[in-house]
Amino acid sequence: MENIDGKANFIKNEFVNALAEITPDTKGLWGKMNVQQMIEHMSFSFRQASGKDKYTLLTPEENVPKMQAFLMSDKPFKENTPNPIIGNDTIPEKNATVQDALHELQTEINDFFAVFDAQPDAVITNPFFGNLNYEMWVQLLYKHSLHHLKQFGISSL
């Protein structure tokens, strides 16, 4: 497993650039989201991780250890992994362009790291994986980032 610092570096410095290489009309290999919806979905994930969007735990408490064990493993998310918060429908784009969505995502990424720079011991609740510290959030966001890059045909990272 790549170390947390390496994963954080990827998220901070490489993820948005990799997304920018996807043409806006590229169709996903699975799922219903288009490129812009996926980028905005990732912004949503980073807002959640920084504590801007607060959620309560949806996973039964007794299943959290199993969920966190998966989270910390190298096992990828499966294609078409359902997200009960989103449901079966896609969420309409909120930004005018993909470029605007990428800019928003970079801002949310920066804000996530700023939260944990200011409060290294912070614990923020994820609705599926429970209370997560910095390392767990980086692991989740890294795994989530790779999942969506793969969805749009970028798997050589």
| 92 assigned to some structural domain | no
| 157 assigned to some structural domain | no
Q: How many domains does the chain have?
A: 1
| 103 assigned to some structural domain | yes
Instruction: Dump pLDDT digits (tens) for 21-41.
Output: 999 999 999 999 999 999 999
The domain that holds 120 is classified in CATH as: 1.20.120
Residue type, 68: Q
Q: Supply 7's token pair.
A: 């994963």
Q: Would the pLDDT of 126 be above 70? A: yes
| 105 assigned to some structural domain | yes
Instruction: Dump pLDDT digits (tens) for 59-110.
Output: 999 999 999 999 999 999 999 877 766 666 677 899 999 999 999 999 999 9
| 42 assigned to some structural domain | yes
| 45 assigned to some structural domain | yes
pTM above 0.75, yes or no: yes
In which domain, by residue range, is 139 found? 4-87+98-151
